[in-house]
Homo-oligomer: A and B are copies of this chain.
Amino acid sequence: VPVFSAEDLRRAGRRLLAACGASEEESGLVADELVESSLRGLDSHGVVRLAMYADHVRDGTIKPGAPVTVVKESASTALVDCGGGFGIVGALKVVEIVAEKARASGLACATSVHLNHVGRLGSFPEKLTARGLFGLASTNSPRHGHFVSPWGGREGRLATNPLAWAAPTDGAPLVMDMSTSMIAEGKIRVLLQEGSPVPEGSILDADGSPTTDPGRFYGPPRGTILPFGSPRLGYKGFGLGLLVEILGSALSGVPLTPEGQPSGYGNGLFLMAIDPEAFGGRDLFRRLVSEFAAYVSTSAPAPGAGGVILPGALDAATRERRLREGIPVADETWRQIREAGRRAGIEL
């Protein structure tokens, strides 16, 4: 697998997006964010998305330069119309809005409409921690992404609906980013290509029977991904998935029933920030989170484990390594990026 430096990938990404019609600022924000995900080993949300975004600009799904406007607001809330621009650009604007309101009011949240794919969800609450804030975020997806069956059902009714939070510490922030399903669809696709089985208890075939065969998931007819906690405790993952759905769509007033489904790719982002200054204080919060993380980490390791792994620690380790050794990019991914470049009239 070819290996690239983060800087080379950033440059390629910026050039590609600019050639598609994005402004210099947009190209920079989007390319940097995708490369950051690749650095952390979250390849499904990394540079593999560059060609997809380029396609979406060409087919009109993504509208470069679209204005991000606050449709409705109070001192602590905002409903934000992201105008169908780059999802990452819209989400970063939501971060600014929420951070400013939280620093003024102690607490703030925003929801979005017309927001395209935002990439790595954890990135947005993480950015709030740089301002001493605690952040919580979720994103739902429109109906064509409804791979996940509800508890007791066998037909897709929810997306993998991720949930993320981040808290500042005296060192690196804690960043939790999880789907509310047993596995991400992107990972099943990788296993299909490899000819590997899916971990047991993760998916159903179209008849609702448990399977480990990724081919039986894709069908057609397509199967489903089980909610997180399945088989025994899947009601919990289902409940978390519904939470994400409600915050991402119903709150903004976006219908998601088959009849009222909005067209086009999109994420419904919910982002909340709490300023600990409104409670026990910003410095004390940072110190107590640090102390608690340290206390948790003093647990003796479970047999076979290397010790306690705090949220975000594995990603941070991968980031260190990839900064040193470079970022592996699959041949097919690089081929698609170059092809997207050629369609936009540049050679990468």
Chain A positions within 8 Å of B, measured between CB atoms, are: 72, 74-77, 79, 105-109, 111, 134, 136, 149-158, 165, 167, 174, 176, 178, 182, 199, 204, 207-209, 228-229, 232-233, 235-236, 238-240, 242-243, 245-247, 249-258, 260, 272, 274, 276, 278-281, 284-285, 288-289, 291-292, 294-303, 305-311
Nearest B-chain residue to A153, judged by Cβ: B299
The answer on a CB contact under 8 Å between B150 and A257 is no
Of the A-B pairs whose beta carbons lie under 8 Å apart in the complex, a sample of 7, sorted by A's number, is: A75-B76, A77-B106, A151-B308, A152-B302, A153-B299, A154-B299, A245-B292
Nearest B-chain residue to A108, judged by Cβ: B107
The answer on a CB contact under 8 Å between B292 and A274 is no
The answer on a CB contact under 8 Å between A242 and B176 is yes
The answer on a CB contact under 8 Å between A250 and B167 is yes
Q: Which residues of B contact A209 (CB under 8 A)?
A: 303
Q: Which residues of B contact A76 (CB under 8 A)?
A: 75-76, 105-107
Q: Which residues of B contact A151 (CB under 8 A)?
A: 308-309
The answer on a CB contact under 8 Å between A232 and B199 is yes
The answer on a CB contact under 8 Å between A301 and B249 is no
The answer on a CB contact under 8 Å between A105 and B311 is no
A5 CB to nearest B CB, Å: 29
Q: Which residues of B contact A74 (CB under 8 A)?
A: 105-107, 278
Nearest B-chain residue to A230, judged by Cβ: B302
A141 CB to nearest B CB, Å: 13
Nearest B-chain residue to A270, judged by Cβ: B274
The answer on a CB contact under 8 Å between A254 and B239 is no
A85 CB to nearest B CB, Å: 21
Q: From known contacts A153-B301, A289-B246, infer whether A109 and B111 are also in contact, taking CB-CB under 8 Å.
A: no
Tell me the complex Cα distance, A105–B276, Å.
18
The answer on a CB contact under 8 Å between A150 and B296 is yes
Which residue among A151, A250, A253 has the maximum number of chain B CB atoms within 10 Å of its CB?
A: A250
Which residue among A107, A255, A306 has the maximum number of chain B CB atoms within 10 Å of its CB?
A: A107
The answer on a CB contact under 8 Å between B149 and A242 is no
The answer on a CB contact under 8 Å between B292 and A257 is yes
Tell me the complex Cα distance, A156–B199, Å.
28
The answer on a CB contact under 8 Å between A299 and B250 is no
Nearest B-chain residue to A109, judged by Cβ: B107
Q: Which residues of B contact A295 (CB under 8 A)?
A: 157, 256-258
Tell me the complex Cα distance, A236–B111, Å.
24
Q: From known contacts A105-B75, A308-B151, infer whether A251 and B233 are also in contact, taking CB-CB under 8 Å.
A: no
The answer on a CB contact under 8 Å between A246 and B167 is yes
Tell me the complex Cα distance, A164–B226, Å.
21
The answer on a CB contact under 8 Å between A176 and B239 is yes
Q: Which residues of B contact A105 (CB under 8 A)?
A: 74-77, 105
Tell me the complex Cα distance, A247–B288, Å.
11
Tell me the complex Cα distance, A242–B242, Å.
21
A218 CB to nearest B CB, Å: 19
Tell me the complex Cα distance, A285–B251, Å.
6
Q: Which of B157, B250, B284 contacts A285 (CB 8 A)?
A: B250
Tell me the complex Cα distance, A307–B153, Å.
6
The answer on a CB contact under 8 Å between A242 and B174 is yes
Starting from the known contacts A178-B240, A208-B300, 9 additional A-B residue pairs (CB-CB under 8 Å) come to A75-B75, A136-B243, A150-B299, A152-B305, A157-B296, A157-B299, A208-B303, A251-B285, A255-B291
